Structure 1
């Protein structure tokens, strides 16, 4: 085993420059596909619903099936990668994702499509969960920080640009093209990965903590299902069995999992990872950016499409002002991370996000044009460009090679749970502001209750239906804006608090370029 490690590290050191970039292309293409498919389907939902003649809830599970299976399976796949080969399970995940995309493209009905999206989600979990660890295996020191900068830019860009790519494909082709495009990309990425990706072999105990794997999977599953049930009906109380029951079960299982992992001789998860405060800081920052920015995209899209009146394609183009920054600046930010460390970059990025949300709160008013949002979008884009390279590099600092897959997987779980929790909590905050504005504007009348019950997502459709009621259109528009303003204030505070927390959690720049993952 030690001989294999020496051979691998020697190969790593002498790796040609061309091969180094081919490794990045393989990993990058896989990550881009996985992140695009988190958001790319959103703009196609109305078209799919019309073609399959299905309900809104069934259609919404086209999105939820991907995110749920993604979050549920990522820890198990990451651990299997650590035990039996990160490259092997990364490529297997790529194959599963590509096969799932093919099934989605030929789906004859919504049930088949939902199941196929679940298969895609399992593949996407392995791709993202192991990609960061493979970067850690294939690159060292400042080069690793630089490559992780590019990796982070792909994560941020892929999530942000999904609606634009989806809008173009739906408008000029059809919704099935969203999935067909993954097939050639996946095959190219697998071919390059088979030929060029290497990994560090290390002596490791391959005892499988089967109960730990089951408990971790069930824990995440219960929490995600509870949050998705709340997301599907924000008017439901948190105390209903289909929400509280799942969440309480998740918390109980989490406690059992921790107790089991502490006492079992060969744990599925090395809980010592959480003693490393830089790793904890990376998870906090990952959850914050997903909770604050990526979850907000849902409500910003509704604002710009329904209440400002822009087309899905136009909204995708406008959001390029946020999504283009990671693509353009990712490599440079990765270089800066290698030079000055994670803490300053991550905290600056979080603070820039906070400024962006504060500017949006100040400048939005009740305008019906997106131009007033440009300064806010610029700050959001700059923060989005800086955060992923810094936290992905921080997540791998001082982590032994045999734990890199799990560290990467845990970081990705925090991203996904942050997004799920963010969509639910932001929806509740926005709905509360919307409700207060409607009730005050219509003096708590029966009509006000009817509008509030329909919810902010149906606001503009209801306004057109009630067009004969005086001043109803501006009243509903202003109510949604009031909800958005309340939401922007909360998100701003969260980014400021996260900035302060990460400043104390993340360590300063290491004094040496010696790889920190070697124990």
Structure 2
């Protein structure tokens, strides 16, 4: 079956305004699922780069002679920039067209990946990871808009289902693919592999994606984007820098103060803006506020600790990158299976139950990881990862639906962008906070020997991650209600 992917002009847009240049021919007739493949290529690539780096960190550290603080920034810079720009990227897509934004994001991401793969030192690598985050923000924001513009009715549900499965698959395959590439071709290959994938996605985008509508008059909230990014970056930098400078240093205290000032400025800007990146009045809806808390703490509690788990598996247990990737894969694989088989049934429940119980499973499973001790090996991780993975699979699909249903229909896109922002920001801050705990405990228990010291540090990391997620579960059960959701 074939179909032409045509332009759409939803209510409120200017007739005839699209991102196709004058005189440009319409895309050729294509199979109706080819655009879905094109969109999912970019989504898979940008999401896999969140986790693909984890198992390669020890090799990067060894070759680039980098510090623990630098190691944190290699992971965190990408997530932080991605989180900071997601909301403003939506405004760019609305103004200039989402196909343009998607292709531009792919191009920036590919060039930054090349820079990462050729980085001569850790400073260049970290900076290139930040540019990767810029491209990823444009791609991620555009994917959902392109799917909505391309498919209707039952096809739209199928398309979003496949897109969601690809997102879960990226999380599952990230550590495994990262380990395989690092083992066989070195750590630089985890970035260079993006180049052919991006090239194919760009070529297909020009061939099969129709020009998406846009509102040329929409203002871009640059002050809001700048103040939000400044606040998030300053607090992350402060947390990471505390590992070396201490909590009472002038640098760390100054960064915390700067973050607070930037946050206040962001609030003031958003309250006065005619077209804000985030309508702060949405946070007065207790269900929406609870879901944002859940999104941030889910990412921090379920995934951030895997960075330090990989260090233990490789640096202490001596596992290869591919074996370390396989050792932590039960979490993502279980999440993928539970989300796939349980999604249709979980959506029938009031949202606080699958989300809250899922977060409780994540918290309980993460706390179970504390059975790791100085003489443990990788099988000690499996029970906790399986339980936590089931919680991720239970809570994540409902979380996305509930966030967009908890607000008026015209704000659904903003709600989805806000949830993605809170999730990525939670991951970035989780890396920084758990890294601070890991480094502090490792140094304070070093007299016990490296194996016992790292295991003890890891247990403190698991305890904090599990506690955060259990707190999120309580918040959801107390705040989120079906009655506040629209069309849930």
Evaluate the alpha carbon distance shift between residue 37 and residue 3 of structure 1 in structure 2; reply closer, same or farther with a 3 A threshold.
Answer: closer
**Residue equivalent to 2:96:** 84
* Aligned-partner Cα distance in 1 for 2:483–2:64: 49
Show the 5 A alignment for 1:350-365.
350-361=359-370, 363-364=371-372
**Residue equivalent to 1:246:** 255
Name the stretch that deviates more: 347-356 or 153-162: 153-162
Evaluate the alpha carbon distance shift between residue 116 and residue 273 of structure 1 in structure 2; reply closer, same or farther with a 3 A threshold.
Answer: same
Q: What's the offset of the Cα at 1:173?
A: 1.1
Conserved in 1, the CA contact under 8 Å of 2:299 and 2:427? yes
Give the counterpart of 1:304 among 285, 290, 313.
313
Name the stretch that deviates more: 159-168 or 326-335: 326-335
Residue-by-residue CA offset, 1:247-272 (whole Å, 9 max, x unaligned): 33232222233223323444444334
Q: What's the offset of the Cα at 1:97?
A: 0.7
| Structure 2 counterpart SS, 1:310 | coil
Show the 5 A alignment for 1:197-276.
197=209, 201=213, 205-209=217-221, 213-234=222-243, 236-276=245-285
Residue segments in structure 1 that go unaligned for 5+ positions in a row: 9-17, 435-451, 465-472, 512-519
Conserved in 2, the CA contact under 8 Å of 1:98 and 1:182? yes
Q: What's the offset of the Cα at 1:376?
A: 1.8
Matched, 1:373 2:381: yes
Matched, 1:319 2:331: no
Matched, 1:47 2:52: no
Show the 5 A alignment for 1:267-286.
267-286=276-295
* Aligned-partner Cα distance in 2 for 1:235–1:112: 21
Residue-by-residue CA offset, 1:195-234 (whole Å, 9 max, x unaligned): 444587476852444xxx2343233233223323422443
Q: What's the offset of the Cα at 1:298?
A: 2.2
Evaluate the alpha carbon distance shift between residue 266 and residue 115 of structure 1 in structure 2; reply closer, same or farther with a 3 A threshold.
Answer: closer
Conserved in 2, the CA contact under 8 Å of 1:353 and 1:495? no
Conserved in 2, the CA contact under 8 Å of 1:130 and 1:409? no
Show the 5 A alignment for 1:84-483.
84-139=96-151, 147-197=159-209, 201=213, 205-209=217-221, 213-234=222-243, 236-336=245-345, 340=349, 342-361=351-370, 363-364=371-372, 368-397=376-405, 406-429=414-437, 434=441, 454=443, 459=446, 463=449, 476=453, 479-480=456-457, 483=460
Conserved in 1, the CA contact under 8 Å of 2:169 and 2:336? yes
Conserved in 2, the CA contact under 8 Å of 1:350 and 1:498? no
**Residue equivalent to 2:471:** 494
How many residue pairs match? The answer is: 467
* Larger Rg over CA atoms: 1
Q: What's the offset of the Cα at 1:392?
A: 2.1
Residue-by-residue CA offset, 1:438-486 (whole Å, 9 max, x unaligned): xxxxxxxxxxxxxx6x356xx49x836xxxxxxxx65x36643653564
Name the stretch that deviates more: 308-317 or 398-407: 398-407
Name the stretch that deviates more: 197-206 or 181-190: 197-206
Conserved in 2, the CA contact under 8 Å of 1:36 and 1:161? yes
Conserved in 1, the CA contact under 8 Å of 2:51 and 2:171? yes
**Residue equivalent to 1:504:** 481
Show the 5 A alignment for 1:7-22.
19=31, 21-22=33-34
Conserved in 2, the CA contact under 8 Å of 1:5 and 1:202? no
* Aligned-partner Cα distance in 2 for 1:501–1:286: 15
Q: What's the offset of the Cα at 1:172?
A: 0.7
Evaluate the alpha carbon distance shift between residue 390 and residue 302 of structure 1 in structure 2; reply closer, same or farther with a 3 A threshold.
Answer: same
Residue-by-residue CA offset, 1:404-436 (whole Å, 9 max, x unaligned): 55433322221122112223333455567x4xx
TM-score normalised by L of structure 1: 0.76
* Aligned-partner Cα distance in 2 for 1:30–1:3: 22
Q: What's the offset of the Cα at 1:398?
A: 6.3
Q: What's the offset of the Cα at 1:317?
A: 0.6
Evaluate the alpha carbon distance shift between residue 238 and residue 146 of structure 1 in structure 2; reply closer, same or farther with a 3 A threshold.
Answer: farther
Q: What's the offset of the Cα at 1:171?
A: 0.9
Q: What's the offset of the Cα at 1:319?
A: 1.5
Conserved in 2, the CA contact under 8 Å of 1:107 and 1:113? yes
**Residue equivalent to 1:5:** 10
Name the stretch that deviates more: 180-189 or 485-494: 485-494
Show the 5 A alignment for 1:55-74.
57-58=69-70, 60-74=72-86
| Structure 2 counterpart SS, 1:5 | coil
* Aligned-partner Cα distance in 2 for 1:226–1:157: 31
Residue-by-residue CA offset, 1:32-68 (whole Å, 9 max, x unaligned): 2112222322333443444445555556543343233
Residue segments in structure 2 that go unaligned for 5+ positions in a row: 1-6, 17-29
Q: What's the offset of the Cα at 1:237?
A: 4.0
